[in-house]
Amino acid sequence: MTGTYGTIYHVTDIPVKVDEAKAPGLTIDEVARRVDMSVRNLREWRALGLLPPPKMQGRVGYYDESQVERLKRIRQLHSQGFPLDLIRRLLDVGAEAGDVLTSFVGDLRAPFREERPPIADLAELARRWGVDDPLPLLERAVALGLIRQRPDGQYEFTNARVAQVGDALQDLGLSAEQTLAATSEVRAHLDGIAEVFHRVWLEHVWQPFVDAGLPRERWSDIRRTLAHVQPVAMEAVIGLFSVAMEAEIEAGIGREVEKVERRMQANGPFAPREPRLQPSTKIR
């Protein structure tokens, strides 16, 4: 509330009168209003190291404008899908280096991240999955990277292809449990593939750049290399997957032929079945 003495704020449930004209900064309530967040969320972010502790004057903590700008930057990055721990580490390396690295990380992720992926409607998921409570399956889908929670609390698929594949598998008759089990196995293999490409990038491109001291004049070269490598990586995965599928199909056919051969050796060759006449069929 406001009055002759300024605004009354509550810190640890103790009312404290603050003369706004003499206040050395912004209280956490004022910061929350400036960045459109709740005080509770700000305190959670502070516990995660995203917001530095305030400067205390008596029993009241104060923040300055630089922390407001930091929070706005964090919210922007978080809305783009950056995890909070990575945001903290990027910002902690310093303003200029942090901006450069943040921009570079965004370039790295851009080809693999859709700007507007489809929303995952919980009621529709429950209907598709045939369950009353979709949350247990939703948690598994989030853990597998199929679905993620947005800053506004809604859920979305990580990309449209993921949503389409899930629908296609269920149309083939797979249950939600079977779909998630298959996805878990595929994801484990894909994580290994992604790790290989990431290691190649680090060893042959990024680490030499870091060892050279991150020279500013070479940033454009790094970006050009990145723009060239990203589509090559995608095409390599698709091409090698095609080769692997062809080999697996051939091996699978060979196994099935071998089963037939063993059965023929045990029971003799298959005799063609003669057509069976229905009782009502008349031979003329």
Q: What is the pLDDT of residue 2?
A: 44
Q: What is the pLDDT of residue 210?
A: 79
pLDDT below 70 — which residues of the chain?
1-23, 93-102, 110-111, 268-284
Angstrom distance (rounded) from CA 148 to CA 81: 9
Q: What is the pLDDT of residue 94?
A: 62
Angstrom distance (rounded) from CA 202 to CA 194: 12
The reported pTM is: 0.57
How far, in whole angstroms, is CA 218 from its chain's centroid? 30
What residues pair up with 128 in beta bridges, in sequence order?
Answer: none
- 242-276: buried (b, 16+ CB within 10 Å) or exposed (e) per residue? eeeeeeeeeeeeeeeeeeeeeeeeeeeeeeeeeee
Q: How far are the Cα atoms of 146, 199, 202 from residue 231, in angstroms, in the given order?
A: 22, 17, 17
CA distance between the termini of the chain: 104
Q: What is the pLDDT of residue 275?
A: 57
Angstrom distance (rounded) from CA 170 to CA 164: 10
Sheet hosting strand 6-11, strand order edge to edge: 2-3, 6-11, 14-18
Tokens read off for 257: 């032929």
Angstrom distance (rounded) from CA 6 to CA 16: 10
Instruction: Give burial (CB, 10 Å; 0-12/13-18/19+) of 73.
Output: middle
- Nearest by Cα to 43 from 58, 33, 56, 53: 53
Q: What is the pLDDT of residue 3?
A: 44
Angstrom distance (rounded) from CA 44 to CA 154: 19
Q: Which residues contact 231 (CB under 8 A, 6 or more apart)?
A: 111
Domains, the chain, ordered by start: 2-92 (1.10.1660.10), 109-264 (no CATH)
Q: What is the pLDDT of residue 10?
A: 42
Rg (CA), the chain: 30
Q: What is the pLDDT of residue 194?
A: 87
Q: What is the pLDDT of residue 100?
A: 67
Q: What is the pLDDT of residue 225?
A: 87
For residue 21, give the amino acid letter.
A
Angstrom distance (rounded) from CA 199 to CA 111: 18
